[in-house]
């Protein structure tokens, strides 16, 4: 149990750090935006990577890395707490259309990213 907890903590620290760097890089590439595109993109990418990891881990006997990769690394990188905050910020600004679009795209594309990751990884592992 302690080993798993340490792995989650290490993965979480790495994932959160990568998420921060992702946001900085996105800001530098795209400039400031009212729409939280960087967080949405992080959630989609993280979901895609989760799908790939699930398949690879199952096929290669690496499920023991789940706490580090899925809960820690990808949990720290995919920021649904930030997603919730950004959604409410849009709502509080009165931009309900952007809030609805953000929620629909974030959830839909993240699920799509996971499905694509599963599909690609299963094809590669066949």
Give the residue ranges of the annotated binding site: 75, 78
Query: What is the spatial distance between Cα 83 and Cα 6, in angstroms, rounded to a whole number?
Result: 26
Instruction: Kindly give, in sequence order, each residue whose CB lies less than 8 Å from that of residue 9, ignoring residues fewer than 6 positions away.
Output: 72
Dump the DSSP string for the chain.
Answer: -HHHHHHHHHHHHHHHHHHHHHHHHHHHHH---SS-HHHHHHHHHHHHHHHHHHHHHHHHT-GGGHIIIIIIIIHHHS-HHHHHHHHHHHHHTT-HHHHHHHHHHHHHHHHHHHHHHHHHHHHHH-
Annotated binding site for Na(+): 75, 78
């Amino acid at each position: 149990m302690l080993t798993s907890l340490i792995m989650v903590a290490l993965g979480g620290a790495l994932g959160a750090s990568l998420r921060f760097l992702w946001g900085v890089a996105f800001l530098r590439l795209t400039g400031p935006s009212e729409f939280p595109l960087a967080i949405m993109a992080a959630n989609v990418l993280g979901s895609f990577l989760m799908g790939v990891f699930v398949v690879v881990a199952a096929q290669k006997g690496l499920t023991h890395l789940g706490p580090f990769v899925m809960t820690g690394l990808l949990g720290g990188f995919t920021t649904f707490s930030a997603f919730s905050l950004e959604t409410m910020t849009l709502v509080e600004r009165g931009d309900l259309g952007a809030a609805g679009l953000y929620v629909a795209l974030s959830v839909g594309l993240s699920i799509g990213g996971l499905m694509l990751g599963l599909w690609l990884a299963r094809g590669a592992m066949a």
